[in-house]
Structure 1
């Protein structure tokens, strides 16, 4: 019997991360999923939930504590994976945060919010990827995924039909509705896109397949509540979970090194 692929998914106890876990549990392939969460208790509960939902699945999940803002947590997770499995086949960098609303609500200063946005979405993702590359290189089919955003496309920012791209009127201060976008979030995800390109360049000769996944606007708790995002037209995150599974199982190998949508390539 073929050896199971080992998959680490960060931020996997909720939202899109959890939907990726569910999609892999529903696959015909068998995986060893390391379900990463900042809270080990929440990660363990997610393992219990998905195991109960898919009792006949050949896939197994194990909770692992990992906080991508904490170097000691990343190192401890690396040591656990190395000692238990000796390799990592797929790394899905899903953990992220949209913190702009906290600034608009007066709960963070602008500097705090911008620094934290980059620290989570870009810096932390870079550090955990660097830590786990040695284990990826032990795989016969290493795959490295970064979950980016449709708001990160520079070309797409020219689309004035989208509310997020509306031009503000002349003068200062601007009307409040022109100042409540997500510039820190979308900037940090644009930075992630270039980070992916650097990993693609760095690991190309090692045979590591690298992508950014742009899953679409989803009804998760990112930047608010699931209900709030759904009210604004967000889609079902389960669809994006299936999309990521398809990438992990080889459906988009011709698009390595790119930011991919479910049915196309996202413009830079």
Structure 2
């Protein structure tokens, strides 16, 4: 069972991209030396989680102070495409720890482009319960934002390029976040959504193409998530927060 002197964090989709960088940021935190983190590192398979843990061990230079915390990286298999996998992950987490202090729902998939290739219908693409991050509402009025560019005249329009399911899922999750904030407020549970910014991840496509489009490094997003975990954004609960990025600032407008 878990140590009361450690902060227990469960991160889904933590073997690559923003999730991986969040784990790395937590391990490199000065607060990790003071209290330490037990990190349940989620990936689609246990093998992928184990590989990510090995990579993290090689990447982080551990002092003797935090070397003990190496054993606190725990692989968790959780594939959001499988109800059975999610149920098994729940049981696995319950067997390994007695509580969760921080839950970071990070795993996702972009189905607008790849869903049809996998044989999913448009209806299935829209209703499947995935986690997405994409700016919305006020940001949707910004003509300079890459996803707001109008296509050329003519029909048919390329729906997979418009990412309708991706955007609507983000709006839905913002509303869920607001409701969780209301529901859990008196229990002392803090809830946010996090806009990680436009960064290079496996979700977005080919890395070099993303960089040419202006995508940044996911390590910046990892630091943003860490700032929330470590209490630096407690005055912004119930909001969608992001790194200070003009013209929108640290709280993303709706």
Other-structure match for 2:179: 198
How far the C-alpha of 1:74 sits from its partner, in A, is: 2.0
For structure 1, which runs of at least 5 residues remain unmatched after alignment?
123-146
Could you say what the CA RMSD is over the residues aligned between the two structures, in angstroms?
A: 2.3
Measured after TM superposition, the shift of residue 2 of structure 1 is 6.2
Contact in 1 for aligned 2:125/2:165 (Cα 8 Å): no
Alignment of 1:49-64 (within 5 A): 49-56=55-62, 58=66, 59=69, 60-64=72-76
Which among 11, 14, 21 is matched to residue 23 of structure 2? 21
Cα distance between partner residues in 2 of 1:24 and 1:266: 24
Q: State the aligned residue count.
A: 237
Question: Does the C-alpha gap of structure 1 residues 233 and 117 become closer, same or farther in structure 2, counting only changes over 3 Å?
Answer: farther
Between the aligned partners of 2:153 and 2:77, the Cα distance in structure 1 is 48
Relative to the length of structure 2, the TM-score reads 0.85
Shift of 1:168: 4.9
Q: Does structure 2 retain, via aligned residues, the 8 Å contact 1:9–1:92?
A: yes
The alignment partner of 2:10 has SS state of strand
State TM-score, norm by structure 1: 0.81
Relative to structure 1, is the Cα distance of residues 45 and 100 closer, same or farther in structure 2, using a 3 angstrom cutoff? same
**CA distance in structure 2 between the partners assigned to 1:117 and 1:22 by the alignment:** 33
Match of 1:209, SS?
coil
Q: State the shift of 1:112 in Å.
A: 2.7
Task: Quickly say closer, same or farther: Cα 1:117–1:94, change in 2 above 3 A.
Answer: farther
- 4+ aligned runs moved over 6 Å, structure 1: none
Aligned equivalents of 1:169 and 1:48: distance in 2?
A: 47
Whole-angstrom distance in 2 between the partners of 1:232 and 1:188: 23
Partner Cα separation in structure 1 for residue 125 and residue 156 of structure 2 = 25
